[in-house]
Amino acid sequence: MLEELKEIAKYSIAQSDYSFLAFPDNSISLASKAADILNTFLNQNLITSERGAPLATFIEIQLISWLRCLIGYDFNDVEKITCLDEVGASWMPGGNLSNTVAMMVALNNRFPTIAKDGIQSLKEHPVVLFSEDIAHFSTLNAAKYMGLGTKSVYYLKASGNYTTDIESLQVYLANRETGDTPFILVAVAGNCRTTSIDNIEALYDICEKNNIWLHVDATHGGNLLFSDEYKSNFLRGIEKADSITIDPHKGLFVTYPSSYIIFKNPKHLSNVSRKPTSTQQKNYFDLGLITPFLGSRGFESLKLWLMIKSLGKTGIAASLQKRSAMNNIMVEKIKETNLFMFFNSLDFYRSAFVFLPKQVYTLIQEKSKGKFANVLPNIIDKYTELFSEKLYKQGEVILDIFKLNDINNILGLGVRNYSVIGMSIGHLNINLKLIENIMDTININALSLVQDYIKDIRDFELVSDNKKLNDGPASW
């Protein structure tokens, strides 16, 4: 068995390796790993307090209070919480489900008759608002799962910095059809492609005036709450949002699974409880009542709880700062090579760029006036994909690949989707020496493709292999 397990480990992805730059999910917190091991032996069931998780229930409630405090929501110390109505958040196995729960709670809050009479009984037509270019697929899926259908979604534009476009929201609200009732806007704080962060405050002001629930998908950006500086720079107004998704298993060093859906008004979760009256009952703490979709579940909250205990808020903030500094250095080094073109400017940890050496770019500018200019983007896609694939197969440096709209027309070939490379340094102990090693690998591999790249552009009518890549590995 040991031999078998060794093989399994050998062919598993090491997300915690310094050179794994595809996602920031590196689970390097030892406290979180230790908690995970203990968790499996304790095997508590957080569906219920008595007979399931008599202490774990209150550790999770304490953790939720800490998160509420970091956001700036009203919170109570765990000793003072008297019933489930005051908890106001739930652990979830991932951001997908957290976002889905947010939409479900928003829908039931706005249209309370749905629980009994169903959506078909509504006179008005519920509408979901978000920007297609930046929102995660879970938002569209949630609309489908809720029975609203994709036709109930109105796609807002994304502005040049990959954030939800405020003007397109205003235009929609001024011109919407009678009967259309937008009930939720899903904003993104750290989208999965460029980690750009929406202007939460401006979106909230409009949502509030129009009675629209503002959900902030802070799957990535939520970790910035631990730093007062980052919070005020990036997440201004987040405490006004009606609900927030945070994924500690993404950029907060915690092992999978770990996500939280948190509500400004703690009572909102009770609306979807199996027994709404029990949520007001004093000293009744079966979290299963306010954990939609889930029944029996483990004590995953111990992981983030122990990490916060061990590092404290300031320790975590320092880690975030270090990681951000390393990402800045890495981006500068890649820019210096003149081999890549960036679609976004770095905020905290994710960059998106295409493989486009300067001399190839010059050639493309010439050819872009020609008859076959529409083929050029396919060649850029081809070589960006080839480069990323080459690295992935070697296994020394791993970068992400997915589709992204060139909103700012950086490549000069029109606003369209390209295959782009995604990069985020998740490991905060990476140092300059390791960055140099990574840069060597990137350089050698990129340079080895330049001659073919130039040749393909020169005779692009010969290019037959225009394999289309529609999604990233995580199917964004």
Ligand X SMILES: *Cc1c(COP(=O)(O)O)cnc(C)c1O
Return all residues near 336 (Cβ < 8 A) that are at least 6 apart.
none
88 sits in the region (left: phi over 0; alpha: psi -120 to 50; else beta) called left
Q: How far is the CB of 448 from ligand X (least distance, A)?
A: 32
Q: What is the secondary structure of 338-350 as a DSSP string?
A: TSEEESS--SSS-
Nearer to ligand X, 95 or 126 (CB): 95
Distance CA(232)–CA(72), nearest Å, equals 11
Q: How far is CA 341 from CA 192, 261, 328, 359, 422, in A?
A: 19, 36, 16, 12, 12
Measured at CB, which residue is nearest to ligand X? 95
Is 110 a binding residue for ligand X by CB under 6 A? The answer is: no
Q: How far is the CB of 79 from ligand X (least distance, A)?
A: 31
Nearer to ligand X, 57 or 223 (CB): 223
- Which one of residues 131, 138, 227, 324 is an interface residue with ligand X (CB under 6 A)? 138
Q: How far is the CB of 190 from ligand X (least distance, A)?
A: 6
Nearer to ligand X, 128 or 376 (CB): 128
- Which one of residues 49, 57, 96, 327 is an interface residue with ligand X (CB under 6 A)? 96
Handedness of CA 263, 265, 266, 268 (dihedral sign): negative
Q: How far is the CB of 244 from ligand X (least distance, A)?
A: 12
Q: How far is the CB of 77 from ligand X (least distance, A)?
A: 29
Is 94 a binding residue for ligand X by CB under 6 A? The answer is: yes
Tokens 């997908």 -> residue: 96
Nearer to ligand X, 258 or 279 (CB): 258
Tokens of 232: 């005020």
- Which one of residues 47, 129, 187, 192 is an interface residue with ligand X (CB under 6 A)? 192
> Within positions 62 to 91, which residues make up the interface with ligand X, using CB under 6 A?
none
Distance CA(110)–CA(184), nearest Å, equals 9
Query: Which stretch in 175-183, 198-206, 217-225, 352-360 sits in contact with ligand X by CB under 6 A?
Result: 217-225
Is 303 a binding residue for ligand X by CB under 6 A? The answer is: no
Distance CA(339)–CA(358), nearest Å, equals 6
> Within positions 359 to 378, which residues make up the interface with ligand X, using CB under 6 A?
none
Nearer to ligand X, 85 or 247 (CB): 247
User: How many beta carbons lie within 10 A of that of residue 119, not counting itself?
Assistant: 16
Q: How far is the CB of 142 from ligand X (least distance, A)?
A: 10
Distance CA(176)–CA(181), nearest Å, equals 9
Distance CA(236)–CA(231), nearest Å, equals 7
Query: Which stretch in 185-193, 308-316, 397-405, 409-417 sits in contact with ligand X by CB under 6 A?
Result: 185-193
Vertex 341, ends 337 and 342: CA angle to 5°?
115
> Within positions 232 to 291, which residues make up the interface with ligand X, using CB under 6 A?
247, 250, 259
Return all residues near 297 (Cβ < 8 A) that are at least 6 apart.
45, 46, 47, 91, 93, 291
Q: How far is the CB of 291 from ligand X (least distance, A)?
A: 16
Distance CA(157)–CA(132), nearest Å, equals 7
Q: How far is the CB of 212 from ligand X (least distance, A)?
A: 19
> Within positions 142 to 171, which residues make up the interface with ligand X, using CB under 6 A?
none
- Binding residues (CB under 6 A) for ligand X: these are 94-96, 99, 136, 138, 188, 191-192, 217, 219-220, 247, 250, 259
